Amino acid sequence: MEVCLSYLARGWNMTHGGKWAGFTMMFLVVLGACAVGGRHTSDSALEENFFRHEEQFEALLADVQADEKLSMIRLKEFRYAGHSFSSHDDLSAAEHDGLTKERLKSYQGMLRDLGVRQVFRGTSGVTFKVDKGSISNGDSYKGYEYDTHPPKHLRASLDGYRISDRERDELGYSVCKRIKGNWYLYLFVNR
C-alpha cells in the first residue's frame, strides 16, 4: 500500500502544495475504503425489516428453492438454467426453459418490497444481499442468509465488525448473526 500511495503522490502537481493536497486526498480515500462494516444497514434495521416481512421472505425462499434452474436474480438481471439474462435481453430462452415473464416480475416485485438487491442460491442455502459493495465499505456486503448448516463464524452483532488478519483468507470472510431458526444476518468482507 505504501508503494501505491508513493506512486500516486508523485503523479500530483508538486507546486503550490499540490503534492500534499493530493496525498491527503488519496489517504482519505484509502482510509475510507478500510472502513469495512462501517457503512452498512444496521442489524436492528435488517431485523426489523425481516420480521415485518417474514412471510414474504419465506415465500421468496420457497420459490427460489423450488426452482432449481434459478441460481441468481437481481432487479435487472438473472441467471436461469445456466444462462445469464438482462432485462434488455430477449427472454424467450428463459421462457422456453420454464421462467415465465409473470414469475420474473413477481420475483422482481418481491425484491423491491423486501429491500433486497440480489438473491442467489448457494450450496446449502439462499443468500439475500441488501447492501452493495462500494469503496466506502471496503467492498463488503450485508444481508440475509437462509442456511441449513449453521455458519462457522457467529457473532452477537455485525454492526461495526472489523476483520482481523487471522480471519482473512484468499476469498474473503463471512460472519453471521442468527435471527430465527435457519435465518441469519451475514456480513461478507472481501480481503
* Three-state SS at 177: strand
Global pTM reads 0.75
Cα gap 120→112, rounded to integer Å: 15
- The angle formed by the CA atoms of residues 42, 44 and 46, to the nearest 5 degrees, is 70
Structural domain containing residue 25: 2-33
In this structure, what C-alpha cell is assigned to residue 1? 500500500
CB proximity list for 134: less than 8 A, separation 6 or greater: 39
pLDDT at 12: 40
Whether residues 73 and 142 fall in one domain: yes
Whether residues 23 and 117 fall in one domain: no
Burial class (CB within 10 angstroms; exposed 0-12, middle 13-18, buried 19+) of 12 = middle
Whether residues 29 and 63 fall in one domain: no
Cα gap 94→78, rounded to integer Å: 10
Among all chains, which residue has been given the C-alpha cell 482510509? 31
pLDDT at 162: 75
Whether residues 172 and 139 fall in one domain: yes
pLDDT in tens, the chain (191 residues): 333 333 334 444 445 555 544 444 444 344 443 444 457 899 999 999 999 999 999 999 999 999 999 999 999 999 999 999 997 888 888 999 999 999 999 999 999 999 999 999 988 899 999 987 756 555 688 999 999 998 888 999 999 887 766 666 656 678 899 999 999 999 988 76
Q: Is residue 54 part of a domain?
A: yes
CB 73 within 8 A of CB 87: no
Burial class (CB within 10 angstroms; exposed 0-12, middle 13-18, buried 19+) of 82 = exposed
Length of the chain, in residues: 191
Cα gap 186→150, rounded to integer Å: 12
Closest CA relative to residue 160, chosen from 180, 179, 175: 175
Q: Is residue 38 part of a domain?
A: no
Q: Is residue 6 part of a domain?
A: yes
Neighbours of 59 (CB within 10 A): 14
Whether residues 115 and 176 fall in one domain: yes
